[in-house]
Chain A
């Protein structure tokens, strides 16, 4: 029998619909795989065995009765532990939420439940999604399935690694500055950051409200489109949610074709600072697209060079306020110092013990950027830079239908390599941040290997034009897989035992 964990979500869905495979079998195969490899990978913080099997058995029962089912019913999924789920713990990768159970479901989780997709469990992340390596998790780092000594990217390293290691066919991530796309790039998987407002943020634990967005983490572009259509669309619980229909994303992925598509190469997001192997794969991808009939042009976005700096003012500012609620009063950790401490002292001690270094760094930075006397120079200026970045995008999209760049400047680095150098860590997001600043959608697709490690290629589209990402992404995926003779992940090494 085929190894069910090797199938794409679309393939598995077909076998489930035709009742060739039962949902219980599909879920069990993935639970078994998690049991085999997750000791080595540490992608999961919580495995939801009983509930996943229960939902699967319900799907099988309903399907046997001939009930109309969602096409992805019974296809299991992993959820980043930044997204709240009733009946399972949600930690945000932080000690401060250890053991906390949400009394409500995130809107995206509710939609997964409505589609009867069994939730395999919650995946690891940098604490409160703050990081680019998943090393800032309070529950130990996740390892890259391509090389267990390397990071899987971040903050959504758990979701990307789970999908890359065949522990789940689908996962949800969140992307504030690249936390879906950069892990996708370094693990050889597909990651999508939808248009801001395209997927409800209700129930996604906020880092930076004006930048955060939930999106799909998968092994194929089509699978991302399928999942995007499940989770996308208007939600009255999120004031920033768009009322536009989700769009024909699956259709775009199925009818991939770049003939006549104008693809803009962003001058500022390549060359210096980009690893040679990354640049080489990027250039090859451009050649392939050109050969397939795309109109590849160069565009300039001069203000992108300020994006990282502006991001590191806006993101921590919003985060410093969003994370104020973790104070030991209503939920989560409470640390009581000796003596008869006041609530002020309990809050100070709780937050000192409950937050890790990177979170504290960003809270202090954000507090600084918002404080009296600095607001205009920092937060105010950063918001103006945001306008300039949007203008760059607007101008570029008059010349091109989609933009293209490497997703990350380097392949996966070694664990610990950048842990003591926050600035070097922040540079990983240099190519992904502009999309968050402007709210435009982006996708990372596998672009091949450099020194045996995956490289990601990023497409960006105008706001509300997510379908273009699926069209271009699926086309490049097909062109590259022809040259590789199959999916990139087929080349990944078999994962050994625990470390």
Chain B
């Protein structure tokens, strides 16, 4: 098997010579209760071959019946992608033999997709907006899951046999297909990532998919071709299959651009084929070339009747759509009063939802941002998880901030409290009590420490008396040291000045 990395051109050189053309097929698994054509549960992780009815196994005599909610979810996706919704469409059979496909045909849509001719605006990290045209979004069913056994790596290559679990067979999918995306230039890899992220965000926002890429709820096939600068005609494309994280989408597109460029630059030709993405080597290897075995013999599924939509149905579904993510972002930025740069950082850090929840819980926008972009993001980075996955709840932040605002702890102590909470030591108040982190607010104790500090540095005390207020910091430092940080620095400063009879 091929592990060798093909020669690639540097990205910069590739961009000097060629324009990339992209295209995406994103499969979205819907989160309906049951499957597309059967009443079996649409659920993961159960005992193999138990979330199946005779329909899902393709047993002799079975017939499919369409899940109404799956159709409605598909229409919602179409509407969110600004597509036209077909007044009438039908399912078709795509005929091919593969052991994960129980009937040896996939029930899909061919010449009549449920949604077509749409577009979405994709905003890149720096605020540049690209419009991606959507060719179609169609309904189909997922295949079963193959596990390859006996080989060295669990890969299909070298396996002695395979095991098939049909629990996933028949899970409803919507396949979203773009028109060719031209003109992205050097931003192509970035756009690829942003496009898939946008689709994920849209379907999640609609509530029609769990949209977790790591679970395969959203799967991306990325098409790449290059054309020499100035040429109109598209080059031969390759389709890189199952690129299943946002980072991988960006890397795979970048890699294919570099690989194509090297081949074309060396006078070679690109073979139209599928490519497999390897996360470990960050490269692709050749899959199956297109062949005459790809004669899928599509024909209208005779066991199903057409889907016919009318305005009343479409408008009812449209009225159920949540606010689109882009509009929501615009609204939130205005509400919170963040600058463009601040807001973009928040979005890129993936903490917008968390901040929204935190503000809703009663924290000021600036304070919520301070928490999520500061301490929480820092800890997430260390733990290599998303900030939202750290376990910090809005209620926790409300409580922490409340402790600060009331003067019971200071900023520095709050970090220690957060550590304690995340270590499972209890609520912030409990951690404060248990770790003994409360600010020393007893003026008597503070004055004692202040007197000690003044006595230790009499020259500094004289300077302050002489009006050099910036020297107060040295005394404050001494007090903080003496109280092991558990003092409110503002209060300490105030007391020092009073003690020395100086106007602050």
Contact = CB atoms under 8 A, between A and B. Distances in A.
Interface string B46-71: 00000000100111111111100000
A306 interface: no
A104 to B, nearest CB: 5
A329 B297 CA distance: 22
Contact of B93 (A83, A321, A371, A375): A321
A374 B125 CA distance: 49
B303 A209 contact: yes
B54 A321 contact: no
B305 interface: yes
B60 A103 contact: no
* Count class of interface residues, chain A: 35 or more
Given A239-B305, A240-B303, A347-B97, A203 B297 contact: no
Interface in A78-105: 83-84, 90, 92, 97, 100, 102-104
B221 to A, nearest CB: 22
A39 B319 CA distance: 68
A367 B297 contact: yes
A324 interface: yes
A210 B304 CA distance: 10
Interface in A215-266: 236-240
Contacts of B299: 317-318, 321, 370, 375, 379
Chain B interface bracket (under 10, 10 to 19, 20 to 34, 35 or more): 20 to 34
B164 interface: yes
Contacts of B95: 320-321, 324, 370
Given A104-B59, A205-B60, A327 B97 contact: yes
Contacts of A318: 299, 302
Residue from the set B62, B93, B95 with the largest chain A CB neighbour count within 10 Å: B62
A84 B55 CA distance: 13
B63 A237 contact: yes
Nearest to B65: A239
B304 A239 contact: yes
Contacts of A404: none
B97 A209 contact: no
A226 B477 CA distance: 101
B235 interface: no
Nearest to B49: A330
Given A103-B54, A372-B295, A344 B61 contact: no
A321 B297 contact: yes
B57 A236 contact: no
B154 to A, nearest CB: 17
B305 A84 contact: no
A329 B61 contact: no
B104 interface: yes
Contacts of B54: 102-104
A353 interface: no
B365 interface: no
Given A240-B305, A317-B299, A379-B299, A201 B63 contact: yes
Given A103-B54, A324-B105, A344-B97, A238 B302 contact: no
Contacts of A331: 57, 59-60
Nearest to A200: B63
A343 interface: yes
A92 to B, nearest CB: 7
A480 interface: no
Interface in A185-205: 201-205
A325 B104 contact: yes
Contact of B63 (A100, A238, A317): A238
Contacts of A106: 61
A236 B39 CA distance: 12
Contacts of B170: none
Contacts of B63: 201-202, 237-239
Interface in B93-119: 93, 95, 97, 99, 102-105
B105 A202 contact: no
19 contacts: A84-B59, A90-B60, A97-B60, A102-B60, A103-B54, A205-B61, A237-B63, A238-B65, A239-B63, A239-B65, A318-B302, A320-B297, A321-B95, A321-B105, A331-B57, A370-B297, A371-B297, A375-B299, A379-B299
Interface of A: 83-84, 90, 92, 97, 100, 102-104, 106, 201-206, 208-210, 236-240, 317-318, 320-321, 324-325, 327, 329-331, 343-344, 347, 367, 370-372, 375, 379
Interface of B: 54, 57-66, 93, 95, 97, 99, 102-105, 162, 164, 295, 297-299, 302-305
Q: Which 10 A-B pairs have the closest CB atoms?
A: A324-B104, A370-B297, A209-B302, A210-B302, A203-B61, A205-B60, A84-B61, A325-B58, A104-B54, A205-B61
